[in-house]
Amino acid sequence: MLDSFLVGLGAFYPQSWLKPQLIPWNPAAAENFYKNPMLAWLADNWKCIWVREGRRDLHALHRMMEVLPRGTMTLFPEGTRSRDGSVGPGRPGPGLLILATRPRVIPVAIDGMRAVLPIGRYLPRIFKRVNVSFGPPVDYTDLLAMPRTRETAQAVIDRVMAAIRVQHAELRRRRRRDVAAVDEARG
């Protein structure tokens, strides 16, 4: 939730400070955020949609279908963060959401979040660098003519994930180049 919220704020900064309705909707794992009353309050006020992790949560999917045509949503197609910082496989649920609502899909790659907020940690580490890349919209119009099946939904998400992987690889190349330049300067 924290990373998706920050990506949304960054994408719409500074307008989101002046117009909070621009803050994107964020699916959030109910198991992680709704046990703690303070986190639950934040999640409810940060436009989060409760999602039951590891299940086909049709209620959450219907809620997303309801709000997406009227707004923006930050969604991680993998369903979770990776432990090693790599881009994981996309799940078909977000593909079904895309097929049902036909939004403009902007792929976003994030590199460095694992150093800031590793899995299992609740307080972020400060002074760590996170790089974010926003790509061009993903064209999936050819898939709209296909039957709305799990396979078609997976094909949509595979296309989105391919765009994210390209961006993520570029972010990692830049990070390695920057680290090498700093090491060289230190001599």
What are the backbone angles phi and psi of residue 135, rounded to the nearest 5°? -95, 175
Residue 12 tokens, joined? 């719409």
Q: Which of 34, 33, 11 lies closest to 23 in space, CA to CA?
A: 11
- Could you tell me the residue ranges of all domains in the chain? 1-75, 105-187
Q: Please check the confidence at residue 150 and state whether its pLDDT lies above 90.
A: yes
Which of left, alpha, beta for 147 (phi over 0: left; psi -120 to 50: alpha)? beta
Predicted model pTM: 0.83
Over range 39-48, report the average pLDDT: 81
Q: Please check the confidence at residue 176 and state whether its pLDDT lies above 60.
A: yes
Over range 2-15, report the average pLDDT: 62
For the packed helices 92-101 and 58-67, what is the interaxial angle rounded to 10 degrees? 40
Residue 156 tokens, joined? 């949509």
pLDDT at res. 85: 83
